[in-house]
Structure 1
Amino acid sequence: MAAAGAPVGFIGLGMMGLPMARSLLRRGRHLIACDSSEAARAALAEGAEPGAVRFAATPAGVADEAEVIVLMLPDSRIVAQVMEGEGGLLAALRPGQLVIDMGSSLPAETQRLAALAAARGAALIDAPVSGSVVKATAGTLAIMAGGDDAAWARAEPVLRDMGEALIRTGATGSAHAMKALNNYVYAAGLLASAEALRMAEAMRLDLGIFADVLNASSGRNVATETKVKQEILPGRYQGGFQLGLMRKDLETAGAISAETGVEAQALQLCRALWGEAVAALGPKADNTEIHRFLGRAT
């Protein structure tokens, strides 16, 4: 375990990364952070205790000062750039350092980078999160973690400062696989719920009562419980997860389908519809806007 008071490295201060980094600060951690956005850096520094946050110009600069380094980046392409690009982490890693990839990356790419880190005597594990910006802000995320016992022992205290439910999933790469498959199941449930709402609307059914029926019956899922009355029926569409990120997770699930040889026909249909929604509404639209897209398509 890193010595008490040693700074935690944090790379990636986006929609989820910023509140996660703030959660670490609230728990008394000191951070050495890196992000290309000046606004994101300023937002993290604002309100922080004097000396609690410092910034490095490059990922390598983070590795110079931190023994445990958290990555919260959009996808495997960006992770690879941060690890292997100019000023990247990989060349600066020392024996005993730990990198925790908390984004949603391709499992095979995670395993490749873990092998490169291991060749330098360091470790890289995957610990993707489940939960909204609200849960990231509160420090109550669900976190899946793949990696061996030694890496887990070092990562756990840091992860507990950002999450409430921690689940070990197996070897490195397994957490990223389970996260993608989980998000496919969520996307399928949300899509089915949105389609059912559009059909109920066409029949002039009371949609509020229909939502109650779903939640009291076998159609209940996280979308019916937390999205229908809260976001879809009032037309708020502010669930906190972007359409583009949903599509990315479905593409990761598609890569798993191809790698395993499992045809997954429902997944292919889901990928196609979410892809059409992104093309129509843009990647930054909220994932609950799949309901609005279905309304436009009829």
Structure 2
Amino acid sequence: MKLQFGLLWIEDNFSPQEEEEIRRGAADAGFELEITVSVDGADIGELAERQQSYHAFDLVLLDLGLAGGVRGDKLAPEIRRLFRSTPILFYSSGDTEAGLRDRMAKDRIEGVFCANRDNFTARASELIQDYAHTLNRLSGMRGLAMEVVAEVDVICRKVILELAVGEAEEVATKFLDKAVCDQSSANLEKFPAQANLAERIDHPATDSMKSFNLFRELLRKHIASLPDGEAKDDLRALRAATKDYRDSVLEVRNVLGHALETRNEKGWLILDRNGEPFMTIDDFPSHRSTFLSQLRAVRQISDILITKD
């Protein structure tokens, strides 16, 4: 499972409103929309290579009238040849849905949905929602939760080492020593013997929650040291946005790690380790949205604090 939905939009003149409507449809399904635009399909071969290597696109939007007089129906056979199983939504303001279907049927092009321009954004949102339903299984949600936590762990490590300079390094070291040694007497000798802060972070006893707590503590101290202004306000808001990370991401991951799924009248039901209902497939979009918002906030914090090479 993933948080991004890849959209290849072959169009030379879509409106900001149309883009926003499709983005909203993707967000309702729990996805972040990643749009790649081709104005006339001239780069379709290069885009197909990206698809083959990375499965970058989950849906192709194709307009009938393109830049330079290119016709979408003439381009469609090549798109289908290169993107063999990717759904295509073919649309136009100058032809009916029936007329668009006839164009596709003429060249026997399969896997193409058709819509008039007046409602193609709603149809695109429906197709995104349909795609989301194919992912609504325990294995997918479990994998997604683990992926999000893994990325946050990496970002936390980078930010901690970036902020833990001078006195802050001693604060961070003592923070982890206490968090780990208070949990288990077996760590009293081994953990403080680690050579430096990086080794403490990488030690198996430093789990995701301890690392994240240290991340937030160092961030709090860093924010307090900043002068009043926009930069301070931005970091404070982003830190506040991560306050529910434990309950909304880590705890969900922990439960899903031991969960089972069963069928009920509405579809798949996720049970916790005690056999009690934990979530249904109706909950999946909101969990994906929450995972995405938490991950986005942590990424933004990292982008602000860590200088890119």
Higher relative contact order (CA 8 A, sep 6+): 2
Would you say same fold, with TM above 0.5?
Answer: no
Higher helix share: 2
Q: TM-score, normalised by structure 2?
A: 0.28
Rg larger for:
2
The TM-score, its normalising length taken from structure 1, stands at 0.29
